[in-house]
A and B are shown apart, each in its own frame.
Chain A
């Protein structure tokens, strides 16, 4: 005889009653639980950790040691010039994990599992983008340490430098939402990886990240001057105090107002892709 009115269940015990899913507290809970899942993954999958820490070291060393002697930046040295470029490139690439991870979770049916649970529909995406943020923050620590070793110096104030790091991480975070949306739309982890490399390599290299854009052939120069990555790099360069003396960033509006451009970009990306991604999440399922 059971004393409850609920139907008898699996193990003969009464059903455990889930709390209603409508409070800010459950939203925070769900976001934290999914974030923790992604942090555990970073800890358990050595590839991610190795790639996240070794790749930035490699880039800093390659650019500062291999090209520094051959590329002359008037009014500065190449190591100081490229650090902002490497920061930007690394965090933008760091955002792509969200794309392949969402596609992978979809393929493996884990998204199906989450969607049958009474959890907040934004939680999986929040956890995922937080995972990218953590990876990028980790990369940043490694890059800063390596940069300082090879002679990079912050020539502004600590406060401005912190603002520079925050701006780069913020932009990358917003970009993670774009990638998460693409990952759910493209559905194939392999395709999303290849596509993001095909898009991000030109975007980061046809910019002012590694060489001043003024020396580029006209079509590429125009592209570089309107490229959001250029604005991001220039904004970071300004905040770290690494803009060479007499440097002509370019006449385009984004390069005249780089910090503002990045902030506007972040807001636009979040306003568009957060709702779009959540809406997408609410209807997707494995095939």
Chain B
């Protein structure tokens, strides 16, 4: 039996004056002990709702969930004693210092004063938070808050961690820093459910990926398996001058198995190919023969963005923009 198991979760919301929202629509997933599951999907797909069901925050309309064989719905208090959760928004008290936040969490886990203080100090060292240790969290950067929040999830050294969009809204440098921390946790053997809308993040951190959309699982597998579902590799070239576009499209069409995609500025072209290395060599030779100048040329395996596009007919990131604009 998998360490985390969710079966047929359904959760509907009935907002006033709006159609019923099926946040979870028969979602099932399992996470084997000591592995990381990446729950991937655009905003509103049901990622956070899934995490909230498993962390005892909300009750599903139907379905069941268990962690290490303990029923999440029937014994929420036992579950709360073995999980650590880190939310989408840095859920730390702004008016408390980093140390006070961690100490408070330890005491609310009933670790006792001495152990709570010791653990808080340990985490502050571990997460390189000494700067934030003795000053109120208010005024610290987003990356620092996330680290405190993540440290809060680790106070009892839980066997299960729920990380709900741990790097959303962070700058690239803070994101990389947080990824390193998460990677080291994972190496320690913690079972992790990670939700993310960043395809790169799931690819980098997760052993297995479940892609969800509209409350349903639409694909699952390792990053490599999902990529191969989309089909072969892609060859991509960037032109110095947009004037060469039509001639370059012809070259790519000859090696491609699909029609050539051209970006809006007409200077980056790509196509799916059967045999990557051979196709790339062919393209480079043709380009040279015609004297077309390139900024860049390369071969890529499909990204998870391509996976999402293939399965749902739309890109994950495009969906985000719509949501942000709404």
Contact = CB atoms under 8 A, between A and B. Distances in A.
Interface of A: 6-21, 26, 29-30, 33-34, 36-37, 40-41, 44-45, 108-110, 112-119, 123, 283, 285-286
Contacts of B83: 116
Given A113-B87, A118-B77, 14 more contacts: A10-B185, A10-B188, A12-B189, A14-B157, A16-B115, A19-B111, A21-B110, A36-B104, A44-B95, A109-B91, A112-B85, A118-B80, A119-B110, A283-B59
13 contacts: A8-B190, A11-B154, A15-B159, A16-B115, A17-B156, A21-B110, A40-B96, A108-B94, A109-B91, A110-B92, A115-B56, A115-B57, A286-B87
Interface size class of B (residues with CB under 8 A): 35 or more
Contact of B159 (A6, A29, A41, A110): A6
Contact of B191 (A7, A37, A40, A117): A7
B104 A15 contact: no
B109 A15 contact: no
Interface of B: 33-34, 52, 55-59, 77, 80-85, 87-96, 100, 104-105, 107-112, 115, 119, 126, 136, 152, 154-159, 161, 185, 188-191
Contacts of B87: 109, 112-113, 286
Nearest to B13: A287
Contact of A15 (B82, B88, B94): B82
A115 to B, nearest CB: 6
B60 to A, nearest CB: 13
B188 A8 contact: yes
Given A37-B93, A109-B89, A9 B189 contact: yes
Name, among B87, B100, B111, the residue most crowded by chain A CB atoms within 10 Å (CB to CB).
B87
Given A18-B81, A116-B80, A29 B190 contact: no
Contact of A7 (B84, B85, B189): B189
A165 B125 CA distance: 48
Contacts of B105: 113, 117
B110 A29 contact: yes
A28 to B, nearest CB: 11
B57 A7 contact: no
Name, among A26, A30, A33, A116, the residue most crowded by chain B CB atoms within 10 Å (CB to CB).
A116
A18 B156 contact: yes
Nearest to A116: B85
Nearest to B149: A113
A12 B189 CA distance: 7
Given A10-B158, A15-B158, A44-B136, A21 B77 contact: yes
Contacts of B115: 16
A11 B104 contact: no
Contacts of A34: 108
A29 B107 contact: yes
A18 to B, nearest CB: 4
B159 A45 contact: no
CB-based closest 10 A-B pairs: A8-B189, A109-B91, A19-B110, A113-B91, A118-B80, A18-B109, A116-B85, A9-B157, A109-B89, A285-B57
Nearest to A8: B189
A110 B58 contact: no
Nearest to B90: A109
B157 A15 contact: yes
Nearest to A6: B159
B95 A41 contact: yes
Given A116-B55, A117-B105, A285-B57, A10 B161 contact: yes
A33 B105 CA distance: 9
A11 B156 contact: no
A8 B188 CA distance: 6
